[in-house]
């Protein structure tokens, strides 16, 4: 079935966990979709893991739309979510709505995500028929304000604020809330307080769903990796091995051989 935004809320009510993975291109989207991922996030992390930037901040709206189009073509069942990049929604609500709508009109997304407690923006998006994910805890677009990518909500006061902000996101119409890099207890309290699902990215075991950046899942970046990341295959090592084998065969004259060359019998 095609996963929809209302399905995610239903999953929570049924106690059914679901999975979010990032994807930035067509073949990765195809593979993750075939594997059964419920949500494919075209994250602004493509700035780091696809474009080589040091933070998520430099990626542009046009770049996000370009990659979202590729992911949408590869996803047959998963809900494709476009991540609003820095500077495209920390603006007037009208301009933010315009930018969010591009993900639906041009990018092929069926939901969008933004960071922080921007309740009026989420309400406006919702009123325009655009399902929206919230994102609390560590919000990487605020890396300079945080002084780095650090675990958030580590005091009782900040946990209470996190719960309050999450409730306000739900009241504004958010369909889910990403909780990134917060203690497990904070994740539990937010999850229990909401009727919409929480998606943990380092949010602890009590969240309704869990997400992973593709480069962490596949060990593509070579590290270092955040504590919550778990690599299920060393794809970087496998790619290195394959490329080195090809190079060795070419240098030795072993490739191409007859089996990989055309002869006169081929029209």
- All domains in the chain, ordered by first residue: 5-234 (3.20.20.60)
Per the residue annotation, which of 115, 123, 170, 180 is the catalytic one?
180
Taking the alpha carbons of 221, 224, 230, 233 in that order, is the dihedral positive or negative?
A: positive
Contacts of 80 (CB under 8 A, 6+ apart): 29, 40, 42, 68, 71, 72, 108, 109, 110, 111
What are the pLDDT digits (tens) for 100-112? 999 999 999 999 9
Q: Which of 54, 51, 116 is nearest to 84 (CA)?
A: 116
Q: Which of 33, 32, 35, 68 is nearest to 50 (CA)?
A: 68
What are the pLDDT digits (tens) for 31-87? 999 999 999 999 999 999 999 999 999 999 999 999 999 999 999 999 999 999 999
**Residue 14 pLDDT > 90, yes or no?**
yes
Q: What is the mean pLDDT of residues 1-27?
A: 97
Kindly list the distances between the CA atom of residue 132 and the CA atoms of 101, 126, 221, in Å, as whole numbers in the listed order. 11, 7, 29
What are the pLDDT digits (tens) for 210-237? 999 999 999 999 889 999 999 999 999 9
Predicted confidence at residue 267, as pLDDT, reads 56
Name the pTM for this structure: 0.96
Give the integer Cα–Cα distance in Å for 184 and 206. Answer: 7
Q: Which residue has the tokens 């990518």?
A: 149
Predicted confidence at residue 114, as pLDDT, reads 98
180 is catalytic: yes
Predicted confidence at residue 266, as pLDDT, reads 61
- Return the structure tokens found at 133: 């994910």
Give the integer Cα–Cα distance in Å for 102 and 111. Answer: 11
What are the pLDDT digits (tens) for 125-175? 999 999 999 999 999 999 999 998 999 999 999 999 999 999 999 999 999
Predicted confidence at residue 223, as pLDDT, reads 85
Counts for the chain of helices (H) and strands (E), in that order? 11, 8
């Amino acid at each position: 079935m095609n996963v929809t935004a209302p399905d995610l809320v239903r999953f929570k009510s049924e106690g059914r966990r679901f999975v979010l993975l990032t994807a930035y291109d067509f073949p990765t989207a195809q593979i993750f979709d075939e594997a059964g991922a419920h949500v494919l996030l075209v994250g602004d992390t493509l700035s780091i893991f696809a474009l080589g930037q040091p933070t998520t901040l430099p990626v542009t709206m046009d770049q996000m739309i370009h990659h979202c189009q590729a992911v949408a073509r590869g996803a047959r069942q998963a809900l494709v979510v476009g991540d609003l990049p820095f500077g495209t929604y920390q603006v007037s609500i009208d301009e933010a709505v315009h930018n969010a709508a591009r993900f639906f009109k041009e990018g092929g997304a069926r939901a969008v995500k933004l960071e922080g407690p921007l309740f009026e923006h989420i309400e406006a998006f919702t009123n325009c028929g655009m399902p929206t994910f919230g994102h609390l805890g560590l919000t990487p677009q605020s890396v300079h304000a945080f002084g780095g990518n650090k675990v958030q909500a580590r005091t009782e006061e900040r946990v209470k604020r996190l719960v309050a902000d999450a409730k306000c996101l739900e009241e504004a119409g958010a369909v889910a809330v990403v909780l990134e890099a917060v203690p497990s207890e904070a994740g539990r309290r937010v999850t229990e307080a909401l009727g919409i699902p929480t998606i943990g990215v380092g949010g602890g075991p009590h969240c309704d769903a869990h997400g992973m950046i593709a480069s962490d899942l596949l060990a593509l970046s070579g590290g270092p990796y955040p504590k919550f990341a778990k690599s299920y295959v060393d794809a970087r090592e496998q790619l290195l091995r394959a490329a080195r084998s090809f190079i060795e065969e070419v240098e030795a004259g072993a490739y191409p051989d007859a089996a990989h060359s055309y002869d006169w019998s081929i029209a």
